[in-house]
Amino acid sequence: MPDTRSERKAALRERLVDAAHRRIARDGLGALRARDLAAEAGCALGSLYTAFADIDALILAVNARTLVELGTALARAADGKEGRPALQALAGAYARFAFANTRAWSALFEHRMADGGPSPDWFLAGHAALFERLKAPLAVVEPHLSPEALDLRARTCFAAVHGIIALSVHNRHLGLPGHSIASELEAFVDRITMGAPKA
Amino acid sequence: MPDTRSERKAALRERLVDAAHRRIARDGLGALRARDLAAEAGCALGSLYTAFADIDALILAVNARTLVELGTALARAADGKEGRPALQALAGAYARFAFANTRAWSALFEHRMADGGPSPDWFLAGHAALFERLKAPLAVVEPHLSPEALDLRARTCFAAVHGIIALSVHNRHLGLPGHSIASELEAFVDRITMGAPKA
DNA sequence: GAATAAAGTGAACAGCGTTCACATTTGAGG
DNA sequence: CCTCAAATGTGAACGCTGTTCACTTTATTC
């Protein structure tokens, strides 16, 4: 009793995303090979292109999965917290996720569309959710900001924390040594949120 | 009266670096093609590999040039300034350079060695000079820091500013809109240097 | 159960960085 | 000025890449 068409196709897509995810996690985005993925998923090379339009689409699917994992890690970290403690928790969770899933996390930002075009909307929305999450705790810390200014400030804070972590993850000589990141990040968020109540 | 061997070789190297620089500036690091470069430099494909070990080495030469340009831009901006104004000037100059030379500046950070190995020391030193430049003005703003803590803080500040700019340059939807960068950056550096005399 | 549409297949294609056997040019010694 | 070994220039060829396509196999529909 063979599976239906759609079941088989969905299963193939999942096996391919699994294989790509493992490969990215182990060797990074640049080590993805269409032939390796097809072999690991147990399908012919051509079948890959019946499941995904191209390798970019497959990478996007992996990134979507990573984005969900990152989102839940952040949500868990900030759960029940507000203001400065929430921001500290988010920054710490972001750093831990980046160091625990270095290559998959890097793929989120390294990847560019092959034709140079924009990523699909649903993917950009997932990215946007990252800094949207900062708005509520930031609003507690900086109640004087207008909604527009709050949006800008959330982007700035996200980018700053991201930059600190990204440089440390990618560039051993330029970034912070691993044992200093947590403390520097904490001091940094302290500065950013200065003026707010400490607890 | 043909040129000497070494003169010809040096001229070829320069033409190749010029061509690669133009190509990177126009279309980005990913658009470099060995055949294009050879054609534009007026040499055979194989000759490229008598001048440079591989494309990585050529990219490194381009990046070295970009790094020098960036260094002089920063030096000019901070000239005669100290403390907070110096930091503001450096951040502003860094942002202006990044937006005026988007692709060449991106190449400094996008590029990874093909074999995954480390970049040569002279190149890492050039990168390190970026945040070394922050130490003196930072020491004025935060005189209580030990040399070791100052080093860490300089790395953190560089990474934060770099992150804000990088995300705005690369990711239109996640980063700041162009017209807000200068003001957000200024507010940000203000926060970082809080407690120091304003002038 | 036959007809039809969908999916699977892997050889073939175009493009890439890099190499190599060979042609050319160069500069020092007779 | 000529000679000739050695350095340099050359582009076809190699191995690899993502992607396509004519063809076979399979699932669904009437």
CA of A8 to C1' of C7 (A): 10
The stretch A15-28 carries a mean pLDDT of 96
Size of interface A-B (CB pairs under 8 A): 105
- Predicted confidence at residue B39, as pLDDT, reads 95
> What are phi and psi for residue A75, nearest 5 degrees?
-60, -45
Instruction: Give B4's pLDDT tier (boundaries 50, 70, 90).
Output: confident
Residue with the larger pLDDT of the pair B115 and A47: A47
pLDDT in the model for residue A171: 85
pLDDT of A6 above 70: yes
Nearest nt to the CA of B4 via C1' is C26
Contact (CB<8Å) B191/A188: no
- Please state, in angstroms and rounded to a whole number, the distance separating the CA atoms of residues A162 and A145: 22
pLDDT at position B2: 52
Calpha distance A141→A84 (Å, rounded):
7
Kindly report, residue by residue over B153-172, the tens digit of the pLDDT. Answer: 999 999 999 999 999 998 88
The closest alpha carbon to B156, from A196, A187, A138, belongs to A187
The answer to whether the beta carbons of residues A126 and A64 sit under 8 Å apart is yes
pLDDT interval class at B199 (50, 70, 90): very low
The distance of A10 to chain B (nearest Cα, Å) reads: 31
Contact A131 B191 (CB under 8 A): no
B166 with A163: Cβ contact below 8 A: yes
Residue A66: predicted pLDDT? 96
Phi and psi torsions of B169, nearest 5°: -70, -40
The A residues from 91 to 130 touching B (CB cutoff 8 Å) are: 109, 112, 118, 124, 127-128, 130
Cβ A4 to strand D below 7 Å: yes
Please name the residue ranges forming H helices in B52-193.
55-78, 83-100, 102-110, 121-141, 147-170, 181-192
Are A66 and A107 within 8 A, CB to CB?
yes
B199 and chain A in contact, CB less than 8 A: no
Distance A50 CA to C6 C1' (A): 11
User: pLDDT class for B117, splitting at 50, 70, 90?
Assistant: confident
Strand C nucleotides with an atom less than 7 Å from a protein beta carbon = 6-12, 15-21, 25-27
- Local confidence band at B59 (pLDDT 50, 70, 90 cut-offs): very high
Q: Could you tell me which of A166, A165, A180 has the C-alpha nearest to residue B109? A: A166
Q: What are phi and psi of A101, to 5 degrees?
A: -130, 50
What single-letter amino acid sits at A69?
E
Distance A51 CA to D21 C1' (A): 16
DSSP string, A29-95: GGG--HHHHHHHHTS-HHHHHHHSSSHHHHHHHHHHHHHHHHHHHHHHHHTT--HHHHHHHHHHHHH
Residue B65 reports pLDDT greater than 80? yes
Query: Which bases on strand D have an atom closer than 7 Å to a protein beta carbon?
Result: 7-13, 16-22, 26-28
Residue A173's pLDDT is what?
Answer: 86
Dist. CA B48–CA B61, nearest whole Å: 13
Q: Give how far B168 is from chain A: nearest CA, Å.
A: 8
Task: Give B195's pLDDT tier (boundaries 50, 70, 90).
Answer: low
Q: Max Cα separation, chain B?
A: 67
Mean pLDDT, rounded, for B108-134: 87
Residue B51 confidence (pLDDT) above 60 = yes
Max Cα distance, chain A (Å): 67
Stretch 6-35 of chain B: residues touching chain A, C-beta under 8 Å: 30
Residue B182 and residue B93: Cα distance in Å, rounded?
10
Q: Does B70 touch chain A (CB under 8 A)?
A: no
Residue partners of B108: CB distance under 8 A and separation at least 6: B63, B66, B67, B70, B127
B32 touches strand C (CB under 7 A): yes
**What pLDDT score does B194 carry?**
78
**Is the shortest CB-to-strand distance from A35 to strand C under 7 Å?**
no
Residue-wise pLDDT tens digits, A57-109 = 999 999 999 999 999 999 999 999 999 999 999 999 999 999 999 999 999 99
Q: How confident is the model at residue A195 (pLDDT cuts 50, 70, 90)?
A: low
Mean pLDDT score across all residues of chain B: 91
**Segment B34-58 mean pLDDT:** 95
Which residues have C-beta within 8 Å of that of residue A46, sequence separation ≥ 6? none
Is residue B198 scored above 80 in pLDDT? no
- Is the pLDDT confidence value at A198 over 80? no
Residue A176 has phi, psi (to 5 degrees) of -80, 150
A82 vs A79: CA distance, rounded Å:
9
pLDDT at B1 over 50: no
Higher pLDDT, B70 or A9: B70
Q: Which residue has the tokens 């591989």?
A: B54
CA atoms in the 13 A half-sphere facing the CB of B63? 24
Q: What is the mean pLDDT of residues A1-20?
A: 85
Q: Is the CB of B8 under 7 A from strand D?
A: yes
Lowest mean pLDDT across A90-94, A166-170, B5-9: B5-9
Distance CA B160, CA A66 (A): 23
